[in-house]
A = this chain, B = another copy of it.
Amino acid sequence: MKKLKMGMVGGGIGAFIGDVHRKAAAFDGKIELVCGVFSSNPEKSRKSAEQLGLPPDRSYESFEKMIEKESMLPKGERMDFISIVTPNHLHFPPAKMALEKGFHVMCDKPMTLTLEEAYDLVKLVKKTGKVFGLTHTYTGYPMVRQAKEMVKRGDLGEIRKVVVNYLQGWMSTQEYIDANESAWRSDPKKSGIGGSLGDVGTHAANMVEEITGLRISEIAADLTGFGKNRILDDDGNLLLRLENGAKGVMSYSQVATGDENAFSIRVYGTKGSVEWHQERPTELIAKWVDAPKQTFTPGGNGTYAESTAFTRVPPGHPEGYFEAFATLYNNFAKEVMSVEAGNPISKEVEFPTVEDGLRGMQFIYAAVASSENNASWVSLKE
């Protein structure tokens, strides 16, 4: 099997998320890294390329050069897609150029720095016919896929209520406070108008829409920056209304002291409900109006095929963060291969798309607008 060739923007050695992307891309054997520009610091970028075993001529000084040069290489040799793992302000420029030069794109979230860029990207993806994927990691978990499928099949009845929390505490540590000044996440020019809102809040919003299959229609958001010297939000509480009349509540934070990555969601319908906790990712709890509580597991009894397709091992052997990430890359790769083989873009794909990225940016903008207006309701309609 011929592997897809990946070029990377960002994620130099030492950057946590770059390593995750590389391991995840390689995991299922469909993708190989062939080139990259790993840092805005050329020396650091070069060294990263070397450590990653890339030939010197595939280590580039800038994403512009990389896209330019790679596009001139013969098909079969040049990269097939780029993976963008830079700070938020550097998502749009390489994505745009790559699409225009005929490359597919896998991009970290939030998708862009501004809402305007997000709209542009949606148009560009449509126009170019390329595949665009967004790494909302948590949608790659088998039990999230199971929850989505249960809603879709009507197992839970009509959805009425959603409770979603994404609670981290690392911004409460002295270590973080000391390091805060220099962090790009704290700088609106690099992070955008959302702080923790963009970092974790968008995951929560995406999860709500992913599992319920419903749009969030309006939100009322009360955002706070508790951290000393913190310009952007590090905490938020939101009321949600969904397009079908369902209601919800969201709480996210990065100053929820002592929480590590406590992302959880509960979705309630007229017939049943589901509950998932990211830190125990292999358990999907389902509760029923007239039957005992159940726990579904990846590949376990009663789990739907759509979910089991997201696992690689027998039930009871935990998969986690890397595998969820890998599943997104794997599904992205399948779609790229299909499109490269001449098929049209699929109507439904098993990874987040540019449309999800736009939803995320709409969410950020609506939340900030709401919060600036004392948590008044703001619509997420396009």
- Complex: A108 Cα to B305 Cα, angstroms: 30
Digit string of A236-269 for contact with B (CB within 8 Å is 1, else 0)?
Answer: 0111110000011111010111111110001011
**Minimum C-beta distance from A227 to chain B (A):** 10
Question: B249 and A237: CB pair below 8 A?
Answer: yes
Whether A235 sits at the interface, judged by CB under 8 Å, is yes
- Complex: A254 Cα to B268 Cα, angstroms: 11
Question: B258 and A289: CB pair below 8 A?
Answer: yes
Given contacts A53-B1, A322-B322, A377-B375, A259 and B279 within 8 Å (CB-CB): no
Question: A295 and B295: CB pair below 8 A?
Answer: yes
Question: A273 and B259: CB pair below 8 A?
Answer: yes
Question: A222 and B239: CB pair below 8 A?
Answer: yes
Whether A294 sits at the interface, judged by CB under 8 Å, is yes
Given contacts A301-B288, A319-B322, A320-B323, A249 and B247 within 8 Å (CB-CB): no
Digit string of A256-296 for contact with B (CB within 8 Å is 1, else 0)?
Answer: 11111110001011111100001111100011111111111
- Residues in A51-72 with C-beta less than 8 Å from chain B: 51-53
Q: Which of A23, A235, A250 has the most CB of B within 10 A?
A: A23
Stretch from A78-86, A98-106, A163-171 forming part of the interface with B? A163-171
Nearest to A321 among chain B residues (CB) is B317
Whether A45 sits at the interface, judged by CB under 8 Å, is no
Q: Inside 8 A of A376's CB, which chain B residues have their CB? A: 376
- Complex: A96 Cα to B279 Cα, angstroms: 43
- Complex: A239 Cα to B377 Cα, angstroms: 13
Q: Which of A249, A259, A270, A279 has the most CB of B within 10 A?
A: A249
**Minimum C-beta distance from A251 to chain B (A):** 5
Nearest to A258 among chain B residues (CB) is B287
Q: Inside 8 A of A27's CB, which chain B residues have their CB? A: 23, 27
Nearest to A237 among chain B residues (CB) is B249
- Complex: A243 Cα to B277 Cα, angstroms: 31
Q: Which of A163, A237, A296 has the most CB of B within 10 A?
A: A237
**Minimum C-beta distance from A334 to chain B (A):** 16
Question: A321 and B319: CB pair below 8 A?
Answer: yes
Question: A237 and B248: CB pair below 8 A?
Answer: yes
Q: Inside 8 A of A238's CB, which chain B residues have their CB? A: 239, 249
Given contacts A289-B172, A295-B292, A261 and B317 within 8 Å (CB-CB): yes
Question: A220 and B375: CB pair below 8 A?
Answer: yes
- Residues in A108-162 with C-beta less than 8 Å from chain B: 156-157, 160-161
Question: A257 and B289: CB pair below 8 A?
Answer: yes
Whether A300 sits at the interface, judged by CB under 8 Å, is yes
Whether A15 sits at the interface, judged by CB under 8 Å, is no
Stretch from A34-42, A308-316, A348-356 forming part of the interface with B? A308-316
Q: Inside 8 A of A156's CB, which chain B residues have their CB? A: 257
Question: A168 and B316: CB pair below 8 A?
Answer: yes
Question: B255 and A161: CB pair below 8 A?
Answer: yes
Q: Inside 8 A of A315's CB, which chain B residues have their CB? A: 260-261
**Minimum C-beta distance from A152 to chain B (A):** 17
Question: B248 and A169: CB pair below 8 A?
Answer: no
Q: Inside 8 A of A222's CB, which chain B residues have their CB? A: 220, 239, 241, 247
Given contacts A237-B248, A273-B256, A289 and B169 within 8 Å (CB-CB): yes
Question: A287 and B257: CB pair below 8 A?
Answer: yes
Given contacts A29-B53, A239-B375, A257-B271, 6 further A-B contacts (CB under 8 A): A22-B29, A26-B26, A161-B251, A237-B239, A293-B297, A375-B377
